[in-house]
């Protein structure tokens, strides 16, 4: 065991008062960084280092856009902040995952500041002032780009910078093969991939007039799993994917069974995640203790016409017709039994994810352009999409529109304490927009089309529990919800304002803007989006004394500001069709000394594997005083608190909030099922996986911002 690991382990030694030896982690950092320094390639000066990295094809040619004098100035600026890692976990995560090494992995080629500079130089595209803004944001850690961007930006040989890719598969072999190819290409460039299988005919369906021969969706899901496993990013990051299916599809129970502990090896999905698309009708059936009928999609089309597609219809309008028609192939199960089955399988595997389809579309500002039909690998991306019609080789394909999104997260603690909420939001929007405009995805034609039309981005937030604990606020309390409500309102306001400013600068707005709820219609003064949530009619401001103190000296937009913004957006448009999504920050939260996203911490001191050893990660700002505000931790806190927190944020977030439930193994399935219904009733768009205290679930690295 190395000496820095030994020193880190001394954290758990308690003094005569029973307190943890937290200072030992600082000593571990010092020892570790001394080791890093001894293994770092040395250069005579910074310019010599940059020349070497450019000439050896490690970095892009930064000398094309920046002079030597400017490069030195920016490097000095990065070091001027006096950055220090706040935990051994932060330092080791940065150097193990993000810092550039020689190709033989024997030496490091950059430190934290140098890495931030190359990322910022790339994202700024030659704009020195913008580069300084990015350097400041990354070094002060007020806003942090996602892993794909933070890992790859500025490198000569790299993966793509976006995080998420979503595809819809049609019910033809041409489409199946086309989407499989797209999945491989997206996985290869470091994307987390999700595929909607709802349009595929079920097992036992008719095929070319022959009845009962359809193989169903599980074999296709196995193919997707193979593509994702095969195509990774040069072994640096494993591929990761998810298959989504509507709960009214006849194969839904078969898909759920692929995650059972005793699943047959021929059908088990060992690495592919699964998610359910759940319209509100399902919960209505469960509340009324009725049967859930699940329908085979092709038999629906045989009876009602090719335009009646399970993935497209409003199930409320068709459900009774399908039930009553004896020619529609269907299976049934009591709806409450289905809820319990979902809960049972979640307790075994953590899956399925749950996507609340009607909630997602209820406040969707782009409903006139298309419907939200699925979510992504981490359940925070919600955008419209159109299926492609992939024809034979001698015919022209009719390309639809799939989904791409790139991510970043605000650090709530740092952005508030630096009085830089507005600056951080605007900086994050600029960085994400650059990634959208410079993504190399022509080989993904349906994604490329979406990116060109939408320029969708996903700015989120992390460090919520850390912010609460540092300020002695209980997670889930009225004060915590007050804090989050004001902060997310500001995210909504400033992201809109910045996207509008970019539209003005570029004299360009996203495709279809005039059809959206951002545009005033029917003689109304404001677009419908601005009339919801009392944006233009009521001031949103802190209501509890402690939160008032936290925001002291920080300007909070008023209803008059919202009115001004609504008029300017109506006049000028927006550059980005989607702006906000709260992803499950994992790796990045360690580096930035944050609790993850909006999630409560799992342990006050987290134990992690590090090679063959164990290390300890004390929660940010942990002290004898703040320890009590990190408790109860995630597995002991009422799970309704987690849902309530997500619901407050969701009011202001135009996409979604990745929300994890934490349960103990002894929880009854009907209690877990009630949480699904509660989340639906609170307006959540999704639930990510359920963590069982006795089951270890691999973290999602593709969307980990």
Over the chain (705 residues), what is each successive 10-residue block's mean pLDDT?
A: 92 88 95 97 98 98 98 98 96 95 97 98 98 98 94 89 93 96 87 93 91 92 92 66 97 96 87 97 98 98 96 97 97 97 95 98 97 96 96 92 95 98 98 93 92 96 98 98 98 98 98 98 95 95 98 98 98 98 91 95 90 90 94 95 98 98 92 97 97 60 43
Has 376 been annotated as catalytic? yes
Q: Where are the alpha helices (DSSP H) in 350-463?
A: 357-362, 412-417, 421-437, 445-454
The β-bridge relationship of strands 613-618 and 605-610 is antiparallel
- CA gyration radius, the chain: 25
> Are 364 and 372 a contacting pair, CB within 8 Å?
yes
Q: Quick one: how far is CA 73 from the chain centroid?
A: 34
Q: Which residue has the tokens 């039930």?
A: 323
Please give the Cα distance from 568 to 253 (Å, whole number).
49
Phi first, then psi, for residue 294 (nearest 5°) are: -115, 130
Beta strands in 579-636 (DSSP E): 605-610, 613-618
Please give the Cα distance from 523 to 101 (Å, whole number).
60
User: Which residue, 585, 588, 584, is CA-closest to 659?
Assistant: 584
3-class secondary structure, 496: helix
Has 549 been annotated as catalytic? no
Active-site option among 113, 254, 296, 380: 380
* Contacting residues for 677 by C-beta, under 8 A, at least 6 apart: 283, 286, 287, 339
> Are 230 and 341 a contacting pair, CB within 8 Å?
no
Active-site option among 9, 376, 471, 576: 376
Please give the Cα distance from 626 to 260 (Å, whole number).
40
Phi first, then psi, for residue 391 (nearest 5°) are: -100, -175
Active-site option among 254, 361, 378, 594: 378
Has 468 been annotated as catalytic? no
User: Which residue, 82, 56, 80, 77, is CA-closest to 66?
Assistant: 77
Q: Quick one: how far is CA 647 from the chain centroid?
A: 16
pTM of the model: 0.95
Please give the Cα distance from 461 to 656 (Å, whole number).
12
User: Alpha carbon of 40 to those of 35, 109, 664: distances in Å?
Assistant: 9, 6, 45
Write the secondary structure of 395-417 as one string of H (helix), E (strand) and C (coil): CCCECCECEEEEEEEEEHHHHHH
Please give the Cα distance from 599 to 35 (Å, whole number).
33
Please give the Cα distance from 414 to 144 (Å, whole number).
11
Q: What angle do CA 589, 684, 407 make, to 5 degrees?
A: 35
> Are 581 and 513 a contacting pair, CB within 8 Å?
no
Please give the Cα distance from 261 to 244 (Å, whole number).
20
């Amino acid at each position: 065991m190395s000496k820095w690991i030994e020193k880190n382990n001394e954290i758990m030694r308690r003094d005569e008062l029973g307190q943890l030896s937290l200072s030992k982690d600082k000593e571990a950092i010092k020892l570790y960084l001394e080791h890093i320094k001894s293994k770092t390639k040395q250069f005579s000066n910074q310019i010599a280092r940059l020349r070497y990295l450019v000439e050896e094809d490690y970095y892009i040619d930064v000398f094309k856009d920046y002079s030597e004098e400017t490069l030195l100035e920016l490097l000095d600026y990065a070091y001027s902040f006096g950055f220090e890692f706040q935990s051994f976990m932060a330092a080791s995560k940065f150097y193990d995952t993000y810092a550039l090494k020689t190709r033989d992995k024997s030496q490091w080629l950059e430190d934290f500041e140098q890495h931030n500079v190359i990322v910022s130089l790339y994202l700024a595209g030659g704009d020195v002032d913008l580069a300084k803004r990015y350097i400041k944001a990354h070094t002060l850690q007020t806003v942090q780009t996602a892993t794909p961007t933070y890992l790859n930006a500025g490198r000569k040989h790299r993966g793509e910078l976006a995080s998420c890719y979503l595809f819809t598969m049609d019910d033809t072999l041409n489409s199946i093969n086309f989407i499989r190819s797209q999945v491989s290409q997206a996985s290869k460039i470091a994307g987390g991939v999700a595929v909607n299988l709802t349009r595929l005919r079920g097992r036992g369906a008719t095929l070319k007039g022959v009845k009962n021969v359809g193989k169903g969706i599980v074999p296709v899901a196995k193919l997707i799993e193979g593509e994702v496993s095969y195509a990774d990013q040069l072994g640096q990051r494993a591929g990761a994917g998810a298959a989504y299916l509507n709960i009214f599809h006849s194969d839904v129970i078969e898909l759920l069974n692929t995650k059972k502990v005793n699943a047959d090896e021929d059908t088990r999905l060992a690495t592919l995640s699964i998610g359910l698309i759940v319209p509100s009708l399902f919960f209505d059936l469960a509340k009324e203790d009725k049967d859930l009928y699940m329908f085979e999609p092709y038999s629906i089309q045989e009876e009602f016409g090719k335009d009646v597609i399970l993935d497209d219809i409003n199930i409320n309008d068709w459900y009774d017709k399908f039930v009553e028609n004896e020619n529609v192939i269907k299976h049934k199960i009591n709806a409450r039994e289905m809820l319990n089955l979902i809960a049972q399988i979640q307790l075994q595997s953590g899956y399925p994810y749950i996507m609340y389809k009607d909630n997602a579309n209820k406040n969707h500002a782009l409903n006139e352009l298309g419907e939200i039909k699925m979510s992504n690998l981490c359940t925070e991306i919600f955008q419209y999409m159109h299926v492609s019609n992939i024809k034979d080789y001698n015919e022209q394909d009719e390309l639809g529109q799939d989904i791409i999104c790139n991510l970043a997260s605000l650090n709530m603690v740092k952005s508030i304490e630096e009085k830089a909420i507005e600056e951080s939001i605007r900086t994050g929007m600029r960085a994400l927009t650059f990634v959208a405009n410079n993504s190399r995805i022509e080989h993904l034609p349906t994604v490329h089309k979406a990116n060109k039309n939408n320029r969708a981005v996903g700015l989120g937030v992390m460090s919520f529990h850390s912010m609460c604990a540092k300020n002695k606020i209980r997670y889930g309390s009225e004060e915590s919800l007050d804090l989050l409500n004001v902060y997310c309102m500001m995210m909504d306001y400033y992201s809109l304002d910045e996207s509008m400013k970019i539209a003005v600068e570029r004299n360009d707005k996203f495709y279809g803007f005039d059809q959206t709820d951002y545009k005033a219609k029917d003689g109304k003064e404001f677009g419908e989006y601005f009339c919801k949530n009392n944006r233009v009619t009521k001031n949103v401001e802190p209501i509890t004394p402690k939160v008032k103190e936290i925001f002291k000296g920080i300007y909070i937009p008023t209803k008059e500001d919202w009115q001004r913004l609504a008029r300017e957006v109506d006049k000028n448009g927006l550059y980005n069709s989607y702006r906000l999504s709260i992803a499950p920050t994992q790796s990045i939260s360690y580096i930035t000394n944050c609790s993850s996203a909006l999630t409560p911490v799992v342990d006050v001191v987290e134990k992690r594997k590090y090679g063959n050893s164990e290390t300890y990660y004390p929660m940010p700002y942990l002290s004898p005083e703040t320890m009590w505000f990190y408790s109860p931790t995630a597995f002991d806190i009422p799970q309704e608190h987690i849902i309530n927190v997500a619901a407050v944020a969701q009011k202001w977030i135009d996409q979604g909030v990745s929300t994890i439930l934490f349960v103990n193994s002894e929880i009854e399935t009907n209690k877990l099922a009630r949480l699904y219904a509660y989340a639906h009733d609170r307006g959540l768009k999704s639930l990510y996986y359920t963590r069982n205290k006795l089951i270890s679930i691999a973290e999602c690295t593709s969307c980990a911002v």
